[in-house]
């Protein structure tokens, strides 16, 4: 495959666009369409390469571009889609009308990625990190605690608050680690939903997504749940969602997987094309006519039942509702947890 000549041909302007250049480009495209990007600069009277013109148009001048801050719903959609698609910015942008891939990529790199890291999640896998750096926030909290102790009893209320926070975090960390252990592909205690013995039904990507979703769910705390790790007790926060209020697992189909083929899992992809709030689209992923899901492999809808999930998660998730909590779990983690504001 040959490579297109780069824009570094001598004489062509680079760098920020001037309002005059913008005007020229807009007028030309509105009148003639962009046609061949390579030919466009000459025809439009611009001393730029075609690539630069295309980028300026698609990322900035296009009339349907939405400007301003990302809404909470958009953030949530990006997180959900990123857990499925990874760094496929254009595919993600296809589900966010008016947003460009570049904008989403920047937003991810400057905001969402940092948030996940801060929370101890691997931004690429959306799973809790197990390396030493993931413990850093907690180590820092311990340092703060020691400082408080050093300051003596005049900071008693502050100390109490800090201790409660640490207890809550420790409890959550323990449960995260426990569930992650259960979800390890080689751990048979989660027999019903590992790729090893479900590989006829579910591919690795779907497994990772489920893993991510299940980890997320841990922040929604069930006051009645019994946790198997030590003496840690769940600390119910004001923003916790009672499990009884969550939808039943059976009402939710398999999370959408980019490798699924329409005719193998029609409901999921009908849902994507129907858009948010569709009864078939519980993940609330906005629709797009631009994004195509590549039919490279086939993964029929997974048949994880409430029973199989609750049996295998055992006490860690003592009630039902598994996949359906994905979006609410993320929003709780990212937008309501005072630790990460």
Partner DNA sequence: AAACGCCTCAACCGCTTGTCT
Partner DNA sequence: CAGACAAGCGGTTGAGGCGTT
Nearer to DNA, 105 or 305 (CB): 105
Burial class (CB in 10 A: 0-12, 13-18, 19+), 72: exposed
Residues 111-170 that bind DNA (CB under 7 A): 111
Radius of gyration in angstroms for the set of CA atoms belonging to the chain, rounded to a whole number:
24
Site string for DNA, 174-203 (x = CB under 7 A): ------------------------------
Identify any residues that bridge with 127 across adjacent strands, giving them in sequence order: 122
Token pair belonging to 302: 């997974």
Residue 14 binds DNA (CB under 7 A): yes
What span, in angstroms and rounded, lies between the C-alpha atoms of 225 and 204?
Answer: 29
What span, in angstroms and rounded, lies between the C-alpha atoms of 187 and 91?
Answer: 33
Shortest Cβ 42–DNA spacing (Å): 12
Site string for DNA, 29-48 (x = CB under 7 A): ------xxxx---------x
Nearer to DNA, 110 or 277 (CB): 110
Residue 28 binds DNA (CB under 7 A): no
User: Do 337 and 331 form a contact (C-beta atoms < 8 A)?
Assistant: no
What span, in angstroms and rounded, lies between the C-alpha atoms of 211 and 209?
Answer: 5
- Taking CB under 7 A as the criterion, the residue among 25, 44, 52, 116 binding DNA is 52
Token pair belonging to 189: 């205690």
Nearer to DNA, 50 or 255 (CB): 50
Residues 87-106 that bind DNA (CB under 7 A): 87-91, 101-103, 105-106
Stretch that binds DNA, among 5-13, 162-170, 197-205, 264-272 (CB under 7 A): 5-13
User: Do 229 and 146 form a contact (C-beta atoms < 8 A)?
Assistant: no
Query: What does the angle CA 202 – CA 207 – CA 208 come to, to the nearest 5 degrees?
Result: 150
Nearer to DNA, 50 or 324 (CB): 50
Token pair belonging to 110: 């400057």
Residue 50 binds DNA (CB under 7 A): yes
Neighbours of 289 (CB within 10 A): 7
Nearer to DNA, 79 or 323 (CB): 79
Shortest Cβ 108–DNA spacing (Å): 8
Nearer to DNA, 21 or 219 (CB): 21
The footprint of DNA on this chain (CB under 7 A) covers a number of residues equal to: 41
Stretch that binds DNA, among 53-61, 152-160, 265-273, 318-326 (CB under 7 A): 53-61
Shortest Cβ 102–DNA spacing (Å): 5
User: Do 120 and 172 form a contact (C-beta atoms < 8 A)?
Assistant: no
265-280 as b/e: b if 16+ CB within 10 A: bebbbebbeeebebeb
Q: Which of 61, 63, 106, 67 shows the shortest CA–CA distance to 87? A: 106
- Taking CB under 7 A as the criterion, the residue among 26, 54, 274, 278 binding DNA is 54
Residue 4 binds DNA (CB under 7 A): yes
Token pair belonging to 9: 């041909």
Residue 1 binds DNA (CB under 7 A): yes
Token pair belonging to 121: 């999640």
Nearer to DNA, 38 or 129 (CB): 38
Residue 11 binds DNA (CB under 7 A): no
* φ, ψ of residue 189 in degrees (nearest 5): -70, -15
Contact footprint for DNA (CB under 7 A):
1-8, 13-17, 35-38, 48, 50-52, 54-56, 58-60, 87-91, 101-103, 105-107, 109-111
């Amino acid at each position: 495959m040959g490579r297109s000549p780069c824009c570094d041909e001598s004489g062509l302007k680079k760098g920020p666009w001037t309002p005059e250049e913008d005007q020229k480009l807009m007028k030309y495209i509105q009148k003639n369409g962009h046609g061949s990007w390579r030919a466009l600069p000459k025809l439009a009277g611009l001393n730029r390469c075609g690539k630069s013109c295309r980028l300026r148009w698609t990322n900035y001048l296009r009339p349907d571009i939405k400007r301003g801050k990302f809404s909470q719903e958009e953030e949530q959609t990006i997180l959900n889609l990123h857990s499925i698609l990874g760094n496929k910015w254009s595919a993600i942008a296809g589900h966010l009308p008016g947003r460009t891939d570049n904008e989403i990529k920047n937003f991810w790199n400057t905001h969402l990625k940092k948030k996940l890291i801060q929370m101890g999640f691997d931004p690429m896998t959306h799973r809790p990190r197990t390396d030493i750096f993931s413990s850093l926030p907690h180590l820092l909290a311990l340092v703060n605690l020691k400082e408080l102790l050093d300051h003596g009893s005049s900071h008693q209320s502050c100390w109490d608050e800090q201790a409660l926070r640490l207890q809550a975090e420790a409890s959550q960390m323990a449960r995260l680690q426990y569930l992650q252990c259960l979800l390890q592909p080689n751990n048979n205690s989660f027999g019903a939903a590992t790729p090893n013995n479900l590989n006829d039904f579910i591919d690795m990507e779907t497994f990772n997504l489920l893993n991510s979703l299940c980890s997320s769910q841990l922040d929604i705390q069930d006051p009645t749940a019994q946790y198997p790790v030590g003496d840690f007790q769940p600390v119910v926060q004001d923003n916790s969602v009672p499990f009884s209020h969550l939808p039943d697992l059976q009402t939710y189909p398999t999370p959408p997987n980019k490798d699924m083929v329409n005719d193998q899992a029609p409901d999921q992809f009908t849902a994507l094309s129907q858009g948010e709030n569709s009864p078939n689209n519980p993940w609330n992923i906005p629709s797009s006519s631009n994004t195509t899901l590549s039919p490279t492999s086939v993964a029929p809808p997974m048949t994880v039942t409430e029973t199989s999930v609750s049996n295998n998660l055992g006490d860690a998730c003592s009630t039902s509702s598994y996949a359906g909590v994905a979006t609410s779990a993320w929003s709780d983690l990212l937008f309501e947890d005072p630790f990460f504001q």
